[in-house]
Structure 1
Amino acid sequence: MRARELGLDFGTLPTGKFNAITDVPGVTVGHVSLIHGQGKLIPGQGPVRTGVTAILPHGGNLYTQKCPAAVFPFNGYGKSIGMMYVEEMGICENPILITNTLSVGAA
């Protein structure tokens, strides 16, 4: 259930058709989940339960066509790479990747 379905309203702007990030023209989102193996964890062998979500702010070349960006740490515990750069420069020039804390270096 979405927050708006509970009567919670955030901000002043209207939502898009699907109330999703992909309502913004040009924004694309991809996701991969890896689920492999069963039983007790054996380091280096599995089982595996992980995933990553990738957000592309527009369909062009992010390095040559940078877009405005800002950051906000939700809880201050997760590992964030590139946060200081975005705070100082105010731009995004890479895909945005979201994964679990221990996979940040691999993403």
Structure 2
Amino acid sequence: MARRLQRLALGDASRHSEDRRVLRITQDMLAMMIGITRQTLALELKAMAQAGAIRIGYRRIEILSMTQLDELAACPGPTDRPGLLRPAAAPCPGASPGG
């Protein structure tokens, strides 16, 4: 999910010259684009906001930290494929030691 937000933020540089760290999109639309339920999306966005990576607003998602999104993108989440897990030597942010 985090990786998908990064891709949307980096998008087509020719379309917008201003800062693309603010994604103007509804959560319903984003969930539909990704192919998950609105409820699953809301849970993931809430976790990313609590981690300090994004700020959620009305019809917008503001990316506060691309570095934090990079770290979250490497961690498994409900919408991630199992084959994209982070190596054991590099634990996910907020993960307890040993698991």
TM interval, short-chain normalised = under 0.3
User: By percentage of residues, which structure has more strand?
Assistant: 1
Query: Which of structures 1 and 2 has the bigger CA Rg?
Result: 1
TM-score by length of 1: 0.22
- In terms of fraction of residues, the more helix-rich structure is 2
TM-score by length of 2: 0.23
